[in-house]
């Protein structure tokens, strides 16, 4: 097995949109309702790459996950803080891709002067068919601390979901 991390490009949009679409359509992990098209996904990648790292994880030549950073807020004083997102193909979870992606993302963010990394994690006290505690457990395993718990802030599949903010000094 050959697993590696590289920079994403707009040419990866179709595959990344495919990985993300599963989570949009079937889970409350993302608070989007409609999966973005490959074209729209390409625009998003291009926008992120203007200022932040966007990385993909390949296993034996196939993209199995991606992670990127974005601004937490556009206000100047937040310039040393970023928010992270990570999605791993559902068939390749728990193979270490998320760990590799976050390690590389943190390294890149550190080198551009980012000090705080945040992650917004959809949450429900009781796991249900649309939302597990995988992301919460993953962020704890990556050394993040829970910093905020916003209750009933998103509605999807007719149910109100919470959002946990995790924070890590990188």
Ligand X SMILES: CC(C)(COP(=O)(O)OP(=O)(O)OC[C@H]1O[C@@H](n2cnc3c(N)ncnc32)[C@H](O)[C@@H]1OP(=O)(O)O)[C@@H](O)C(=O)NCCC(=O)NCCS
Residues near ligand X (CB under 6 A) are: 23, 29, 85-88, 93-99, 119, 121, 134-135, 137-138, 141
Minimum gap (Å) between residue 30 Cβ and ligand X? 8
List Cα–Cα distances, 102 to 88, 105, 162, 166, in angstroms: 12, 5, 23, 14
Quick one: tokens of 78? 């937040």
Minimum gap (Å) between residue 119 Cβ and ligand X? 6
Looking at the Cβ atoms of 3 and 49, the one nearer to ligand X is: 3
Minimum gap (Å) between residue 57 Cβ and ligand X? 8
Query: Angle at which helices 13-26 and 38-49 pack, to 10 degrees?
Result: 110
Looking at the Cβ atoms of 42 and 120, the one nearer to ligand X is: 120
- 116-123 and 145-156 beta bridge pairing: unpaired
Quick one: tokens of 153? 């802030």
Looking at the Cβ atoms of 13 and 20, the one nearer to ligand X is: 20
Minimum gap (Å) between residue 110 Cβ and ligand X? 19
Report d(CA 13, CA 65) in Å as an integer: 12
Looking at the Cβ atoms of 13 and 86, the one nearer to ligand X is: 86
| Torsion angles phi and psi, residue 84, rounded to 5 | -110, 150
């Amino acid at each position: 097995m050959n697993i590696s991390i590289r920079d994403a490009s707009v040419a990866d949009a179709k595959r990344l949109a495919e990985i993300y679409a599963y989570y949009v359509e079937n889970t409350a992990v993302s608070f989007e309702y409609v999966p973005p098209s490959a074209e729209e996904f390409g625009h998003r990648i291009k926008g992120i790459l203007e200022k932040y790292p966007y990385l993909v994880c390949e296993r034996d030549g196939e993209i199995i996950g991606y992670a990127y950073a974005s601004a937490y807020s556009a206000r100047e004083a937040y310039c040393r803080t970023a928010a992270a997102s990570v999605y791993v193909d559902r068939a390749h979870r728990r193979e270490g891709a998320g760990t590799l992606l976050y390690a590389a993302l943190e390294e890149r963010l550190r080198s551009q002067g980012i000090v705080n990394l945040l992650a917004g994690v959809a949450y429900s006290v009781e796991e249900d068919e649309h939302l597990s505690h995988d992301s919460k457990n993953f962020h704890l395993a990556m050394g993040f601390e829970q910093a905020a718990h916003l209750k009933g802030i998103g509605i999807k599949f007719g149910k109100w979901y919470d959002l946990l903010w995790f924070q890590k000094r990188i």
